[in-house]
Amino acid sequence: MASACISRTPLLDRYQQIVGYEIYMQPIPGMLRLPDLTGALSILGEIDTTPLLDTTLILILAGKGQCPVPDALPPHSTLSFVLDSRVDAIAQPSGLLSALHSHGYGVLNLNGHRKDAANLPPSQAPSYVKLDVEDLSVEALHQELQRLREPHRQIIASGVESRQAFQNTFDIGFDIFQGSYFTHPETLAEQNIHASFTHILTLLNQLRQNAEIVEIEQVLKSDAATSYKLLQYVNSAGFSFNQKISSFRQAVTLLGYQKLYRWLTLLLVNVSKEAGAPPALLKTAVIRARLAECIGQRLPPDCYLDGDNLFIVGLFSLLDTLFDMPMARVLETVSLPPNLEAALLTREGGYGEVLKVVEAAEWPNTDELSARVLQLGLTPAQFNQCHIDAISWLEHFRL
C-alpha cells in the first residue's frame, strides 16, 4: 500500500516547453523520511505510469537507502533515478550506477555531488546533472557549466526563480530548466482584460445564466475566431455526426450547454497561449483542472462535489496570473456560483479543500499534501493515480 503521495515540478527545455517532471514522494503523516528508492519504485508500481513514460522525461527523487537494480518499472530512456542529496551517489552499492545504465535507465547526479560528476568513468557517469543556480553568480555558472559539460549529458538549472535567472542560465547554455518562475510567476498589476478573452467570457456568463440559444448565437456571430473553432470542434472525428454541422444554433444544440461551457474554458487557455502566456503555466492550469475533477470522482459518497465545477475551479485558479490581475478582479468578469468564488478567493469550502490538494501537488517539499489527501478520504494510491492520469491527459490536449 502506498505510503507517500506524489508531487511534481516541471522540467522545461530552452523553448520553455515542458519536457518532463521531477517526481517527489511526500510521506504520509507519521513517516519520518522519504521512502528509499525501492520504496519509491514500489509506490509507482501500484499505478499505471505507461502513458507518461511514453512521452515524458521522469526524474524520481527518493530518500536514503540502498536498492538492487529496480524491476518495479520497465527500463525506459525517459526514466531517470535521482539519488537523494544526503547520499553520496558514488558510494551506492557496487555497480549500481553501471547496472542502471546497462538496463536502459538514466541517472541524475544532484547538486551536492557536482564535483564528482566530472570525473566518473562512462559506466557510472550521470545522464543528467542538476545544478542549483539560485545563489550562483554569472561567472560561477559559467565555470560550473564548463566543468560539467560532457557529450550526451544534459545540465539542469534548478532554482530558476526569476526572469533574469532564466535569461542568465539560457544565455550560458543550460539544457533544462526548473523553478517556480515558470509556473508561479508573480501577478504584476491590475490590467484590462485582453480583447481576445472578452467574447469567451461573455459566452461563459451566458451559459451560466442559461441564456436563450439565440443570444449565444449572436455572440458567436460577432466573434469569427471563436465561432470557427467551435464549428471545427463539433465537426471533428471525436463526434462522428452523420452530417456536417454548419450553423451555430445546431452546434450549441448538439453539444449542450454543459459540454460547450467546458470546451470554452479550455479554449480560454488556448487563447491565453495566443496572447503570449507561458506554455508551462497553461499546462499547469489544465493539469489542475483534470486532477481536481479526477479527485472528485474518488471522493466518498457523503463528500460529493460536482466534477464539472471541480474542473472549472482547477482551471480558473490560475486566471489571475494568466490575466495579470488579482483574482477578485477576474471574478468580476465571469459569473460563478458563490461556493466556487469562495474556493478561488480564499480556498474555502469543499471545492477549496480540493484546490489546496491540487496546489500542494506542485511543490517539491511540502508537509501538507499527504495530510490533505487523507483528509479528503482518498488513499495515497488513489491520489497518485489521479495525478499521473492528469499529467498523461494533458499530453492529449494540444497546448
Asked if residues 4 and 25 have their Cβ atoms less than 8 Å apart, the reply is yes
* Residue 152, pLDDT above cutoff 90: no
* Residue 125, pLDDT above cutoff 80: no
Half-sphere CA count of 320, side-chain side, radius 13 A? 18
Q: What is the pLDDT of residue 149?
A: 86
Q: What is the pLDDT of residue 317?
A: 95
Q: What is the pLDDT of residue 76?
A: 47
Helix axes 248-255, 257-274, angle to 10 degrees: 110
Band of pLDDT at residue 27, cut at 50, 70 and 90: confident
Biggest distance spanned by C-alpha atoms of the chain? 73
Q: Quick one: average pLDDT of 15-29?
A: 83
**How does strand 79-83 pair with strand 18-27?**
unpaired
156 vs 213: CA distance, rounded Å: 52
- Left (φ > 0), alpha (ψ -120 to 50) or beta: where does 263 sit? alpha
**What grid cell was written down for 240?**
462522428
Band of pLDDT at residue 187, cut at 50, 70 and 90: low
390 vs 384: CA distance, rounded Å: 10
Long-range contacts of 309-312 (CB under 8 A, 24+ apart): 309/337, 309/340, 309/351, 310/351, 310/354, 311/262, 311/265, 312/265, 312/336, 312/340
Band of pLDDT at residue 64, cut at 50, 70 and 90: very low
Q: What is the pTM of this model?
A: 0.83
For 360-375, letters b (16+ CB in 10 Å) and e give bbbbeebebbbebbee
Q: What is the pLDDT of residue 85?
A: 36
For 249-276, letters b (16+ CB in 10 Å) and e give ebbbeebebeebbbebbbbbbbbbbeee
49 vs 5: CA distance, rounded Å: 15
* CA separation, residue 271 to residues 149, 173, 197, 277 (Å): 39, 31, 7, 9
Q: What is the pLDDT of residue 80?
A: 52
Between 264 and 46, name the one with better pLDDT.
264
Average pLDDT of the chain, as a whole number: 79
Bridge partner list, 106:
80
357 vs 20: CA distance, rounded Å: 21
Q: First-to-last CA distance in the chain? A: 35
302 vs 151: CA distance, rounded Å: 56
Q: Quick one: average pLDDT of 62-80?
A: 49
**List of E strands, 84-190:** 106-109, 128-132, 154-158, 176-178
Model confidence over 233-272: pLDDT tens digits?
Answer: 888 766 666 778 888 888 888 889 988 998 898 888 888 7
Q: Which secondary-structure segment (H or E) carries 81?
A: strand 79-83
* Residue 393, pLDDT above cutoff 60: yes
Between 38 and 346, name the one with better pLDDT.
346
